[in-house]
A and B are shown apart, each in its own frame.
Chain A
Amino acid sequence: AQTIHQWPVAEIKAVGSPLSLGCTIKGKSSPNLYWYWQATGGTLQQLFYSITVGQVESVVQLNLSASRPKDDQFILSTEKLLLSHSGFYLCAWDRGREQYFGPGTRLTVL
């Protein structure tokens, strides 16, 4: 069975500080991976997707970047956080056309 993990569970960071969020999936080779962002009380917005190691496509620009260093790993990062980066970040993978989501990371930027 496939399992998807995200780390950390939650972060409180200062404006201007760097950020790195991780996602890893076990039990599936060469998965398509996705990053989503959800503002508090809002809907989900797809940020990035990756179909293979080293390749990442941006869907929405939010002054964030993503990388796929390993087949089972997807990283979301920025060198300088903004207040608007606060929210809930979810990683997802797909099986066919159906997407499954990780538990998410809650980010608070102060």
Chain B
Amino acid sequence: GMPVEQNPPALSLYEGADSGLRCNFSTTMKSVQWFQQNHRGRLITLFYLAQGTKENGRLKSTFNSKERYSTLHIKDAQLEDSGTYFCAAETSSFSKLVFGQGTSLSVVP
């Protein structure tokens, strides 16, 4: 199977709603990064985690290497949160990042 499975592929939220994205890994990964890709294609780094949980404003991410998953939680969704979100996991190969398939998030009023 795919080394990184990301779900859901698409998500539509009303402003103010909360939701979560998840990535499952087929093997043990060293770290994970979460990115938001805007409409111009720019990849914005949201989180880097080697383990545990990090929070930044309305965003929270967890990485559990032993259980082989990572999550990104969005709280109080805003219109500017719309975009495509990717998780990318670091494999045992030299700095090789394997990306998930992405989640297309649409926040509507």
B88 within 8 A of partner (CB): yes
Q: Give the CA-CA distance A104 to B100 in the complex, in Å.
A: 19
Interface on chain A toward B: helix, strand, loop, or mixed SS? strand
- Tell whether, in the assembled complex, residue B99 and residue A97 are in contact, meaning their CB atoms are under 8 Å apart: no
For B, the interface residue count at a CB cutoff of 8 angstroms equals 23
Q: Give the CA-CA distance A90 to B96 in the complex, in Å.
A: 15
B107 within 8 A of partner (CB): no
Q: Give the CA-CA distance A106 to B39 in the complex, in Å.
A: 13
B56 within 8 A of partner (CB): no
Chain A nearest CB, measured from B39 CB (Å): 12
A73 within 8 A of partner (CB): no
Using known A-B contacts A32-B95, A99-B33, determine if residue A104 contacts B41 with beta carbons closer than 8 Å.
yes
- Tell whether, in the assembled complex, residue B42 and residue A49 are in contact, meaning their CB atoms are under 8 Å apart: no
**Which stretch (B12-20, B43-51, B64-72, B75-83) binds chain A?**
B43-51
For A, the interface residue count at a CB cutoff of 8 angstroms equals 23
* Residue from the list B94, B97, B100 in contact with A99, Cβ < 8 A: B97
What is the interface of chain B, defined by CB distance below 8 A to chain A?
30-31, 33, 35, 40-43, 45, 48, 50, 86, 88, 90, 94-102
What is the interface of chain A, defined by CB distance below 8 A to chain B?
32, 34, 38, 42-46, 49, 51, 57, 59, 88, 90, 94, 97-101, 103-104, 106
